[in-house]
Amino acid sequence: MELEWAGRPAVTIVTDALVGAAEQMKRISRMPDYPYVVTPFPVGNLTRDELRARAPGLVDEALRLLNARPKS
């Protein structure tokens, strides 16, 4: 969100275990419509191959969210 405030388009990726915290951060930051990408928990113990398998879907969703934003 700080990147957004600085004028840099950004997308946050959160695990499904942290969606509640992400929703609270959106409210606290006064950005209730801020979109984010959700990935299954856990992430930290995935192997490199498991991360590589998951990444394309996350990238596709992040690009979709970035491209859906109104152009300034």
5-28 pLDDT, tens digit each: 898 999 999 999 999 999 999 999
Residue with tokens 């991360």: 51
Q: What is the four-CA torsion angle of 67, 28, 19, 1, rounded to 10 degrees?
A: 30
Cα torsion 53, 63, 65, 9: sign: positive
SS3 at position 11: coil
The CA distances from residue 1 to 5, 6, 35, 48, 72, in Å, are: 6, 9, 10, 27, 17
pLDDT at 72: 59
At residue 69 the predicted structure's pLDDT band, cuts being 50, 70 and 90, is confident
The whole-model pTM stands at: 0.85
Report the percent of the chain where pLDDT is more than 70.
Answer: 97
